[in-house]
A and B are shown apart, each in its own frame.
Chain A
């Protein structure tokens, strides 16, 4: 367990291979009003192995053929009847589907004004007449290879983005829905507020709720080290492990000790999760919890000061040391006691003065925001709004905020 295991990422080989063989199948449209030049360019291309050639005799004819099916490259004359090459360029660049289509101009017009005009109208490249075989072939090859590479990278990017989006939805599925939270309010008289927002690249935050029996309910928040897909996959691993550890929900310390050993065996060396696991006994009004280096929970007892207090969340992060024994703490959690747990993203942002919010800053902010009559939803919205302002244009990390208030009454 004492080596750093990291693999070097490399793009899928499929993304970058086989450009040369596939360019010969490219659909190339040759546009010139002179039949002789169309044939000449066609012959150059055929001699190099290109098989998929189409021809147009003027600009309008070219646009019609492009509308029928988009070619991979257009070789375009400038001076033609009906519609000239400049206009063709302009039309193609104005449409989203042909905005990036490679246009290779071939023309006898070689003044600086002509060249500037052609590029201004959207030409990709230019060869001068008389067309030289090896020059035009070399340029076509470069533009087709670029085109194919961009297409493949775009397809790859789209696929990965869509898969990440699916993974995000799977992560969101683990969180309790609004209806489920309403049920907890109806069945346990516990008022939960839950905000979970995975970052666009998904990440290592997770939280969940497990009803144990009519008097007990367990819940947790966890955050895996690192970012992205690997951290997200670990959240699913954790969720599966927890689903099979029902007997331990009443014993947060034992649960963390066993989970620690599981993660130590299964995570890469140096990777870990921070976690808080709670078991709330409604009948007794007691909360037992165990911590593994998470953000300290904020708690407010009724009839004390208006300020929230920080609870200890010290503990070895899970997965770092085999055989670690976790401790449990027991606190009163009677009527109108409120608690908030949250991921580190919330405090690892700077205030306008340039200082990190930190645990203490968040304690003050929650004390001011979550006043007696304020609902969870308003409190959470305000905290999220502040967070977004502080993050600005930066891509935020995963964010989890869970609020809880016990509404059960107790005699004495």
Chain B
């Protein structure tokens, strides 16, 4: 997983690229802390550069959403593509969270 974080007045943008898999759970935990500390009202996961995601990665996105939900932070998934979009689609994540295509 390659990740970068930008924080502006609009909120937090976490950009993930390459792959999101089981191996990334430690790094992902650090990203969750940024959501938990409630410094930002909005959190966007920019997935336009994410090529693949495995079952553990999908679980992590749900955990990120639930972390935001608990912290009262608006959560958004932004421009998922390819296999990532397909998996989010078949798993009906759009019924739970905002997914901007």
Query: What is A's interface to B at a CB cutoff of 8 Å?
Result: 1-4, 6, 225-227, 269-272, 274, 293, 296, 313-317, 320-321, 356
Contact = CB atoms under 8 A, between A and B. Distances in A.
Interface of B: 22, 25, 28-29, 32, 55-56, 58-60, 62-63, 66-67, 69-70, 83, 89-93, 95-96
A272 B66 CA distance: 15
Contacts of A270: 56, 59-60, 62-63
B41 to A, nearest CB: 18
B56 A317 contact: no
Interface of B is mostly: helix
A320 B63 CA distance: 9
A225 B56 contact: yes
Nearest to B70: A2
Q: Main SS of the interface on chain A?
A: loop
A241 B70 CA distance: 30
A66 B22 CA distance: 49
Contacts of A271: 59
Contacts of A272: 55, 58-59, 62
Given A2-B67, A2-B70, A356-B83, A226 B56 contact: yes
A316 B63 contact: no
Contact of B22 (A1, A3, A226, A317): A226
Residue picked from A270, A271, A314, A317, most chain B C-beta under 10 Å:
A270
A369 to B, nearest CB: 23
Contacts of B89: 314
A317 B91 contact: yes
Contacts of A293: 90-92
B90 A313 contact: yes
21 contacts: A1-B66, A2-B32, A2-B63, A2-B67, A2-B69, A3-B63, A4-B60, A6-B25, A225-B56, A225-B58, A226-B22, A226-B56, A270-B59, A270-B60, A272-B62, A274-B91, A293-B91, A313-B90, A314-B91, A316-B92, A321-B96
Contacts of B95: 316
Nearest to A268: B59
B19 to A, nearest CB: 13
Given A4-B25, A6-B25, A321-B96, A225 B59 contact: yes
A71 B63 CA distance: 56
A313 B89 CA distance: 10
A314 B92 contact: yes
Contacts of A6: 25
A176 B96 CA distance: 37
Given A2-B67, A6-B25, A225-B58, 4 more contacts: A1-B66, A270-B59, A272-B62, A316-B95
Contact of A315 (B60, B70, B92, B96): B92
A244 B29 CA distance: 37
Could you say which of A1, A2, A271, A272 has the most chain B C-beta atoms within 10 Å of its C-beta? A2
Contacts of A314: 89-92
Contacts of A315: 91-92
B63 A4 contact: yes
B55 A226 contact: yes
A4 B55 contact: no
Nearest to B54: A225
A316 B58 contact: no
A78 B62 CA distance: 68
Contacts of A2: 32, 63, 66-67, 69-70
A2 B25 CA distance: 13
